[in-house]
Amino acid sequence: MSKIITPDSLSQLVINIKESENILFNYTKNNFNPDGLDVISTIYDPTFPSIDENIVDKIVEIYRREGNECEVGILLYESLENMTPRKAGNPGYWTQMNHHSFYKYIAIRWPRLWELESAELNSSKYILDHWVQVSSSQSDLMRYPISGLWWSVHLSIDETRSDKYELTRVLFMNDTLRTRQLGTARFARHKPAIHAVLEHIQDLVEQGISLEKVANLITPYVNMLGGIRPLSYFDKEWFKHKLNDYHF
């Protein structure tokens, strides 16, 4: 059973963070302290998954050891049992989880808030960009630290493969590709499209073509295809054929 921040409280939290004169009192290196930000109203919903603290500790350990988020994302995805895309589109759920269960991980992954060289950092904006989700848009779900990990794995997992996370590892090869380009594309939730694109990226990289070059070209190309026909009607083979015809 998990708590979900209500929409009104979520809107008020944004206002309070923007107006706070000492927001680092509330957002410390170790935990979120709600004092002074007014009461944050939540509701219980037994259908939304919670996560064991030991799993979060393991996630932190994996990130500290490996320095990348692929295995972190896989463990998180497997641990949030009974999660569905509908539930995973709820910003109140993710914001609640960001401030409690996953606070420690976000603080370690995005530590600029407390670093001396970040004296000119807009602390309120940084917090809103990493802890507080107010939108269920595809771009926001992908770019926030925790929801983005879940959605990245969900979109790329392929149960037909011997290693169902093979394409997931391709997606995690580049953060910009994952959170700003491919993951936020209009076709991203159509799995035949995303799987075909990831397979094609994998092939091109193995041929020695720059991942950055591929990332900058492939998403606009498939988006362009979607400008003249509804991509949700086409299967993976159609996408692979179109991609093979395009010279990157």
Give pLDDT, residue 216.
Answer: 84
Query: What does the pLDDT average to over 180-209?
Result: 92
Domain that holds residue 226: 158-248
d(CA 166, CA 172): 10
The closest alpha carbon to 184, from 145, 135, 228, 148, belongs to 148
pLDDT tens for each residue of 48-67: 999 999 999 999 999 999 98
Residue 27 region, left (φ>0) first, then alpha (ψ -120 to 50), else beta? Answer: beta
Q: Are residues 93 and 121 in the same domain?
A: yes
Backbone angles phi, psi at 189, to 5 degrees: -85, 0
Give pLDDT, residue 1.
Answer: 60
Give pLDDT, residue 69.
Answer: 96
Are the C-beta atoms of 149 and 74 separated by less than 8 Å?
Answer: no
Q: Are residues 138 and 16 in the same domain?
A: yes
Q: Are residues 68 and 92 in the same domain?
A: yes
Q: Are residues 45 and 14 in the same domain?
A: yes
DSSP 200-229: HHHHHHHTT--HHHHHHHHHHHHHHHTTTS
Q: How many CB atoms lie within 10 A of CB 123?
A: 17
pLDDT tens for each residue of 119-160: 789 999 999 999 999 999 999 999 999 999 999 999 999 999
Q: Are residues 13 and 104 in the same domain?
A: yes
Q: Are residues 151 and 182 in the same domain?
A: no
Instruction: Choose one of 156, 174, 200: the last residue of a domain.
Output: 156
DSSP 125-193: HHHHHHT------HHHHHHSHHHHHHHHHHHH--TTSSSTTHHHHHHTT-HHIIIIIGGGSTTTT-HHH
Displacement of CA 215 from its chain's centroid (Å): 18
pLDDT tens for each residue of 62-111: 999 998 899 999 999 999 989 999 999 999 999 999 999 999 999 999 99
Which alpha helices (DSSP H) does 42-90 contain, by range?
Answer: 53-66, 70-79
Name the β-bridge partners of 27.
32
d(CA 120, CA 56): 31
Instruction: Choose one of 156, 180, 202: the last residue of a domain.
Output: 156
pLDDT tens for each residue of 204-242: 999 998 888 888 888 889 988 877 678 888 999 999 999
DSSP three-state, residue 168: helix
d(CA 90, CA 65): 31
Q: Inform me whether the pLDDT recorded for 22 exceeds 70.
A: yes
Give pLDDT, residue 37.
Answer: 85
Residue of higher predicted confidence among 116 and 231? 231
Q: Are residues 97 and 214 in the same domain?
A: no
Look at the pTM and tell me if it is higher than 0.85.
Answer: yes
Q: Are residues 184 and 115 in the same domain?
A: no
Radius of gyration for the alpha carbons in the chain, expressed in angstroms and rounded: 19
Q: Are residues 24 and 92 in the same domain?
A: yes
Q: Are residues 79 and 126 in the same domain?
A: yes
DSSP three-state, residue 45: strand
Q: How many domains does the chain have?
A: 2
Are the C-beta atoms of 3 and 88 separated by less than 8 Å?
Answer: no
CA distances to 7, 93, 98, 144 from 10, rounded to whole Å, are 5, 10, 13, 16
Amino acid in the structure at residue 72:
V
Q: Are residues 149 and 30 in the same domain?
A: yes
Instruction: Choose one of 114, 131, 156: the last residue of a domain.
Output: 156
Give pLDDT, residue 38.
Answer: 79
Give pLDDT, residue 74.
Answer: 98
Q: Are residues 125 and 188 in the same domain?
A: no
